[in-house]
């Protein structure tokens, strides 16, 4: 679950993945992507909501780095 949550943290970050070194995407064999793919849609939504709420509570402006279209 921690690796899967790191997937969301990296979505909010302009820095490359510390594991596969890709920016805004991951290598198909990256453990972070593999962990994320093991979660069902509800678990992914819960993880995204939790991490984004935490990011906003500590002052991260996700509008600058959010790669997802809404």
Burial 20-54 (b: 16+ CB within 10 A, else e): eeeeeebeeebebbebbeebeeeebeebbeebbee
Q: Is the pLDDT reported for residue 69 higher than 70?
A: no
pLDDT at 70 over 50: no
Q: How far apart are CA 56 and CA 51, in angstroms?
A: 9
| 55 vs 47, residue with greater confidence | 47
pLDDT reported for residue 51: 84
Question: Which residues, including other chains, have CB under 8 Å from residue 22's CB and lie 6 or more apart?
Answer: 16, 30
Query: What pLDDT, in 10s, does the model give residues 6-30?
Result: 888 877 778 888 888 887 777 778 8
* Tens digits of residue pLDDT in 30-45: 888 888 888 999 999 9
**What pLDDT is recorded for position 27?**
78
């Amino acid at each position: 679950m921690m690796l899967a949550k790191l997937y969301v943290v990296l979505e909010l970050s302009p820095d490359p993945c510390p594991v596969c070194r890709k920016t805004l995407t991951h290598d198909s064999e990256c453990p972070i992507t593999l962990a994320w793919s093991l979660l069902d849609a509800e678990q992914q939504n819960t993880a995204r909501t939790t991490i984004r709420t935490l990011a906003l509570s500590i002052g991260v402006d996700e509008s600058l780095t959010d790669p997802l279209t809404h």
